[in-house]
Structure 1
């Protein structure tokens, strides 16, 4: 791959020059790719993150396929924001697939089936490396630790960060038994953020660890952990608590699946971030219910501004139970269910899991989000573009 050869300008093109406290977000438009789409012999879907490459004007998106429908992989793609529409049926003319790269394990081999769960990636233009997170898994037959790894742009491994041991799942599959530790099932590392100064990588558990708090539910939040790594030494650094909100709407039938969690975040500075909270409840009737789908499902997507200043550093604490902890400050920027298309219809939302700063559009900087369609024919890959302007709340 040659797309990274001219990426040295990226550090000067981040939103670090646009202070979060002086910006707000406006709906520009969307594009929708049906789940039937394929590229280079593999189905297109499972896009769990998005990262803009300023030097090429293209994007990278990791796929959370566990080497089941194709090799564990990431895509290179192009988005034409001029073709995005504030429409319930915008089409996909603004989306072009450019390349696909296979992720390789630490031995330089493609991952076997169910050996990895890729969830997020970020390009480090200074070092010409890609950092990516693997959620691992919590099932009784095969516990897998969550990991954060480096790779070269061609997918070859370049090492692994040393994740503290208290993030490793142990105990029961449900994570609710006495003595259980680590993340709950499918609620580990879904995010990667790089600070604009190029010094620090951040990731976050989607919900709290089993030894810290219960998972989010209706009327109950969860205490997720933000974990940092020094990019030069690879060592774990500061660690903070992020209070995930409760599930905002009940499922249509009591007892059906419902969750809320953090699938991605983006660094504005060394201490400020934009964080996605993505809630889902089967059959819930909310303003953002996805009218495109045939399933009675609903997603509620909110963006938060997070500031770590003043929060308690819990690094090295195997558990927070019984201890006084000040979480990071969390301020809502936007509930995407409040956005409307040109015909007045509410923006229907799928499973939004990734975000990145995009290019300038008509003199304004952009924020681009992407959904993970779960390879479900009733879902879709959705790109939503927002422009950045005016004061935040």
Structure 2
């Protein structure tokens, strides 16, 4: 049964990958995008960019603004979902990237969420993180709330906990096997050393949902936060780090991270760099400033005009340590920013 499941997922992802290649070749700006056999362009020895697309920038669908993207996810059928931090969950056609359906999400009081992370669970329901409280809720395909996961008190926004506002659950991913859910905080808790962010896990418990699991610590680069994490089939993570400097632009780096030997920090009140705490090991895959621009243009100063406020990431295909990864930027509904999709290839070592 497991082999069949993996085969089904790979078939679905292959469909998405092929569709995205066609979509971005048709819609991406710049002469380097033309043709279905456009070459890969190296950002580093491990990462290359195939193409980008600005086709959805400043568009609407059925009265809903298409943008503010904070997360992407692909389900077993190959459906591509894009989550807006303004509570819109859009289904995108994997062949054209055009919206085909939209569901509006809300909390228990009907209030819009600051929704940041997205997982399509094996039963087709959505797990969505909000950084307001923070929280993780399960939604049906119709947008109805089905469940809410527990959150450690320390990870709540002050004064309820030690988290800073607009710096809590950003990344959300389901580890291989589907039994462990992982959420990444964007920034450090008050009392923890700057740059050390916590990754919280939950364990699936029968049919009763998820229970709190282990917690790990990850050190982000100076001045950067963690807007997204995506699990690889071997249990390692792709981690996106991002920052912004006014007048300069965005910094976006992609790391390979391994939490499997990290210390469980759930009962450690303050992480101050102590020697007995093993942080999640990370290896730089690429600083995206080094990617070729592919003819992209920027609406505000950027160290590379290809860059924008990249915040969403999902895997759309893999084979033997090589992954196709789709990224998307959050334009904040700001005329100085762009909703941009990036089709990339990532190579990892065993």
TM-score, reference length from structure 2: 0.79
> What pairs with 1:7-18 in structure 2 (closer than 5 Å)?
9-10=8-9
> What pairs with 1:197-346 in structure 2 (closer than 5 Å)?
197-214=177-194, 222-232=195-205, 233-247=209-223, 260-269=224-233, 271-284=235-248, 298-321=249-272, 323=274, 324-342=276-294, 346=304
Q: Does 1:183 align with 2:156?
A: no
Give the corresponding residue for 1:19.
Answer: none
Q: Does 1:60 align with 2:75?
A: no
Secondary structure at the counterpart of residue 43 of structure 1:
strand
Distance in 2 separating the partners of 1:154 and 1:8: 28
Give the corresponding residue for 1:102.
Answer: 104
Distance 1:229 1:360, change over 3 A: closer
CA RMSD, Structure 1 to Structure 2 (Å): 2.9
Distance 1:32 1:322, change over 3 A: closer
Give the corresponding residue for 2:341.
Answer: 383
Distance 1:11 1:231, change over 3 A: farther
Choose which of 158, 170, 176 in structure 1 pairs with 2:146. Answer: 158
Distance in 2 separating the partners of 1:11 and 1:124: 16
Give the corresponding residue for 1:257.
Answer: none
Distance 1:368 1:34, change over 3 A: closer
Secondary structure at the counterpart of residue 358 of structure 1:
strand
Q: Does 1:75 align with 2:90?
A: yes
Distance 1:124 1:244, change over 3 A: same
Distance in 1 separating the partners of 2:285 and 2:121: 27
- Offset, 1:375: 0.5
Distance 1:105 1:267, change over 3 A: same
> What pairs with 1:134-149 in structure 2 (closer than 5 Å)?
134-136=130-132, 145-149=133-137
Give the corresponding residue for 2:72.
Answer: 50
Give the corresponding residue for 1:40.
Answer: 62
Choose which of 95, 113, 119 in structure 2 pairs with 1:116. Answer: 113
Distance in 1 separating the partners of 2:10 and 2:57: 34
Distance in 2 separating the partners of 1:356 and 1:368: 5
Segments of structure 2 that go 5 or more residues without pairing to the other structure are 15-44, 298-303
Q: Does 1:132 align with 2:128?
A: yes
Segments of structure 1 that go 5 or more residues without pairing to the other structure are 1-5, 16-22, 66-71, 81-93, 137-144, 172-179, 215-221, 248-259, 285-297
TM-score, reference length from structure 1: 0.70
* Matched-pair contact (CA < 8 Å) for 1:54–1:359: no
Which sits farther off after the overlay, 311-320 or 115-124? 311-320
Q: How many aligned positions are there? A: 304
- Offset, 1:151: 1.2
- Offset, 1:158: 1.4
Give the corresponding residue for 1:90.
Answer: none
Q: Deviations over 1:180-233 (max 9, x none)?
A: 94221211101101012111000011011112234xxxxxxx110010001235
Q: Does 1:27 align with 2:7?
A: no
Distance 1:270 1:160, change over 3 A: farther
* Matched-pair contact (CA < 8 Å) for 2:105–2:113: no
